[in-house]
Amino acid sequence: MAELPNTLDDAIAQAQSATQAALAAGYTRLQVELIFPELKAMPVAEKFISMFHDRGTGLKLFFTDSGIAALAKRDWGEIPHTIRSLDVAGSRQTTPVEEQVDPEDEIYVFVAPSSVEVSPVEQICNVVGERPVILLNPKLEDVATIGIGYAGRQLRQRFLDTIEPCYYLRPLDDQSAILRCYPSPWQVWYAPDGEYQLIAEEQDRPDSERLDEIFTGVLGQGAKPGLFAGLQQFLKALGR
């Protein structure tokens, strides 16, 4: 059973283990999410990709734009991996997908892609075939961008639903959190007295109704209204 990590470094190490386990199980499209307020993507990415040091140039990193890619090259120093940018914002021209993918590539990591980049991310995933792709802290399901109608449903069925969420950690407030660490199921944790306890395990990510049932079962009807208010805000951000 997965345990709730105590620090960000512990969470990154846990995410690395979950990723390795999912890759070993044959998954080729993975998603890793560490959702904390004010969390910066770059430091997390730098630590996370250390697991692929032996891949050398076989690991290709994609950032959302050339400015962020340049910062990574400058701040990370000498790393053996290939760094690219998607360059889809503003008036910049997107590099053709065929030029973003090379025969010697072994694995791809997209760092914090947003819904603006969902099209090139999907195209690259389709071109690379069975080579592994990892989306690190993506924000691909912005309803304002991809829509909630037919186009949004098609995108989810065609692409987003093919991605396995091998790691997911999100505090709901200072007393509760959701964790998924492959191969463990989705877990709901609660700390009524400062020490986290596992209160539920689910095969699928719990939706708003299921979370409401879980916390009502633990806290009782009408208990701790502050938590339920926080949950409602969180559930709106869940996207499903």
Domains of the chain: 8-168 (3.40.50.300), 172-238 (no CATH)
> For the segment 197-224, what is each residue's pLDDT rounded down to a tens digit?
999 999 999 988 898 899 888 877 655 4
Question: pLDDT tens digit string along 115-149?
Answer: 888 889 999 999 999 999 999 999 886 644 555 56
The residue with greater pLDDT, 93 or 20, is 20
* Mean per-residue pLDDT, 96-109: 89
**Rg of the chain's alpha carbons, rounded to an integer?**
19
pLDDT reading at 43 higher than 50: yes
Asked if residue 53 has pLDDT above 80, the reply is yes
Mean pLDDT across the chain:
85
Strands 197-202 and 186-190 come out as antiparallel
Q: Is the pLDDT of residue 177 over 50?
A: yes
- Res 231 pLDDT > 70: no
Q: Look at residue 115 in the predicted model and tell me its pLDDT.
A: 85
